[in-house]
Amino acid sequence: MERRHFLVSTIGALGASASVFADTPSDKLRVAVIGMGGKDPQKGLGRGGSHLSAWAERDASGPRDRGSEVKNCEVSAICDIDDAQLAKGLKVLEGYKVKTPQTYKDIRKVIENKDIDVLSIATPNHWHTLMTIWGVQGGKDVYVEKPCSHNIFEAKQIVAATRKYNRIVQQGSQIRSSKAVQEAMQKMKEGLIGDIYMSRGLCYKRRDDIKHAAVEPVPAGVDYDMWNGPAPVHPFTRNRFHYNWHWFWDTGNGDLGNQGIHQVDIARWGLDVKFPVKASAIGGHFMFDDDQETPNTLNCAWEFNEGGKRKMMEFEVRHWDSNGEVSVAPPKRGETADTGGSGGDSIGALYYGSKGYLAVDSYSSYKSWLGKAQEPGPSGKEGGGHFANFAEAVRKRDRNILNAEIEVGAASTILVHLANISYRVGRTINFDPATLTITGDAEAAKMMTRQYRKGFEVPSKV
């Protein structure tokens, strides 16, 4: 993304002082985990819990016999708008026997703390860009969950802010750090399956009926105004809160932007493309009568034309029982994926070339089939450390080390937004890769951004 395409605001009240860690790289890396989250808030935490565990395993204040190399890190703070979730976060850290962190309910107070070097963001999607921009303006490096933005405008701004303030920012596309998947990408680049003309991503993930939730008082200990942040405020219901916020346009991006963004990213990676010229999506909300706004079944397609060479990418979201495709298939009974997914899900990407095809699944593994006879070709299975990759880049002050640097994450996220916009307007949309704008369709172009609440605006001017 060329810098001339982006606009960001002035630093404002937060200031742009560099973090202390950036000036003294021999010090420990002091991390604030933002957002505890959770599919089932009664039982535990979701991605926020994963962030806590990843950093606690590298926390030098705890025991050194966890089987994970100590990276001289420290979970210095945790932040969530829900007191109950904060308590659960502290409980997770107690299990690692690390120093008790400071607790916050307001991200702005975290950023004001000059003793914090890194924000590790696991909040709902509608907060990702603004928190990251506030963070880099305040001199922090940022690990932000996927998708890094809620819309196309934000995808532009998050990259612009990262460049302006020269920070290290990684999107949580964990499969980018898989050694096996990296090997698969290198082999395709070397010509293993020949001239690749198409990739296909799969998100066949069983999602249950969320039913209808009644309006009720905001639970005690919840700062609902801060939870909404940049998004419009709706009357509180359980369906618009923990995890189910994914299925509402004001806060989420459907399963295409939830699980699907991982596979969109690796499908784009293997196809070796950046921005499309066309995007199209059809689908709907099938089977269930519930509160969900986003589609639970979706077929997407993007056309690319880079250097005069046309390529195509497909993606499919299914929400219920499904078969798999090639080796991207449901695991055997009782088996679960090593990274991402669960029993019964088919999640991955396929690549089609002139000499064969290749499949990457959610187990950090790949297989290939070559020639007309489709003989088995190279394969592999090995994971990798995405948080460790980020920590290394922060310590070395080198964004080129990152496996999912924010510009990479933003490019894949834009594909998600284009497909969702096409679905919502009901037609194919044209996209200009040079200006990163939707052309010839005012209704669709309007969906590239949103109206922001006062005090929570994603900045648009330098």
* φ/ψ of residue 429, rounded to 5: -120, 150
- 189 by DSSP, 3-state: which? helix
398 lies in a domain?
Answer: yes
Residues 269 and 163 in one domain: no
Q: What is the pLDDT of residue 64?
A: 60
Is the predicted pLDDT of residue 338 greater than 50, yes or no? Answer: no
| Torsion sign over Cα 97, 88, 147, 384 | positive
| 29 lies in the same domain as 140 | yes
Q: Are residues 90 and 184 in the same domain?
A: no
Count CB-CB contacts under 10 A for residue 282.
16
pLDDT digits (tens, 9 = 90+) for 297-317: 999 999 999 988 999 999 999
Enumerate helices (H) and strands (E) in the chain, giving the number of each.
Answer: 12, 17
User: Do 200 and 346 fall into the same domain?
Assistant: yes
Within 18-163, strands assigned E span 29-34, 73-79, 102-104, 118-121, 141-144
Shared domain for 120 and 138, answered yes or no, is: yes
Q: Which of 110 and 14 is assigned the larger pLDDT?
A: 110
Residue 427 lies inside a defined structural domain of this protein: no
Report whether pLDDT(381) > 70.
yes
CB of 315 within 8 A of CB of 300? yes
Tokens (6 digits) for 447: 């969906």
What pLDDT band is residue 13 in, cutting at 50, 70 and 90? very low
Domain assignment of residue 354, yes or no = yes
Classify residue 450: in a domain, yes or no. Answer: no
219-255 per-residue burial string, b: 16 or more CB within 10 A, e: under 16: eeebebebbbbbbeeeebebbbbbbbbbbbbbbbbbb
pLDDT tens, 135-190? 999 999 999 999 999 999 999 999 999 999 999 999 999 999 999 999 999 999 99
d(CA 426, CA 99): 53
Token pair belonging to 125: 């999607």
Preceding omega of 124 cis (within 30 degrees of 0): no
202 shares a domain with 165 = no
Give me the helices (H) in 31-102, please. Answer: 47-56, 83-94
What gap in Å lies between CA 460 and CA 449, rounded to an integer? 11
Same-domain check for residues 339 and 191: yes
Whether residues 192 and 153 share a domain: the answer is no
Confidence of residue 343 (pLDDT cuts 50, 70, 90): low
Per cent of the chain over pLDDT 70 is 87
Percent of the chain with pLDDT over 90: 81
State mean pLDDT over 4-32: 50
Number of domains, the chain: 2
Whether this model's pTM surpasses 0.85: yes
Query: What confidence score (pLDDT) does residue 23 get?
Result: 38
Nearest to 319 by CA among 302, 300, 294: 294
* Residues 365-384, mean pLDDT to the nearest whole number: 95
Question: How many Cβ atoms are within 10 Å of 303's Cβ, its own excluded?
Answer: 17
Contact at 8 Å (CB) between 252 and 268?
Answer: no
Judge if 295 and 328 occupy the same domain: yes
Nearest of 3, 49, 289, 362 to residue 159 by alpha carbon: 3
Residue 12 inside a domain? The answer is: yes
**What is the reported pLDDT for 324?**
85
Q: Are residues 189 and 169 in the same domain?
A: no
- Do residues 372 and 364 lie in contact, with contact meaning Cβ atoms separated by under 8 Å? no
- 356: confidence class by pLDDT, cuts 50, 70, 90: very high
Reported as a single tens digit per residue, the pLDDT across 36-94 is 976 644 456 788 889 999 999 988 777 765 555 557 899 999 999 999 999 999 999 99
pLDDT tens-place string over residues 235-269? 999 999 999 999 999 999 999 999 999 999 999 99
Residues facing residue 375 across a β-bridge: 370
Looking at every residue in the chain, the average pLDDT score rounds to: 90
Asked if 154 and 286 sit in the same domain, the reply is no
**Mean pLDDT confidence for 364-381:** 95
> Residue 333: what pLDDT?
58
**Same domain assignment for residues 196 and 165:** no
Q: Look up the domain containing 357 and give its range.
A: 179-207+255-383
Q: What CATH code is carried by the domain that includes residue 336?
A: 3.30.360.10
Highest mean pLDDT pick, 272-276, 327-331, 332-336: 272-276
- Alpha-carbon distance of 173 to 409, in angstroms, equals 7
Instruction: Tell whether 349 is covered by a domain.
Output: yes
Q: What pLDDT score was predicted for residue 66? A: 54
347-373 mean pLDDT: 94
Give the pLDDT score at 211: 97
* Spatial contact of 127 and 119, defined as CB atoms under 8 Å apart: no
CATH number at residue 44: 3.40.50.720
Q: Is the pLDDT of residue 24 over 50?
A: no
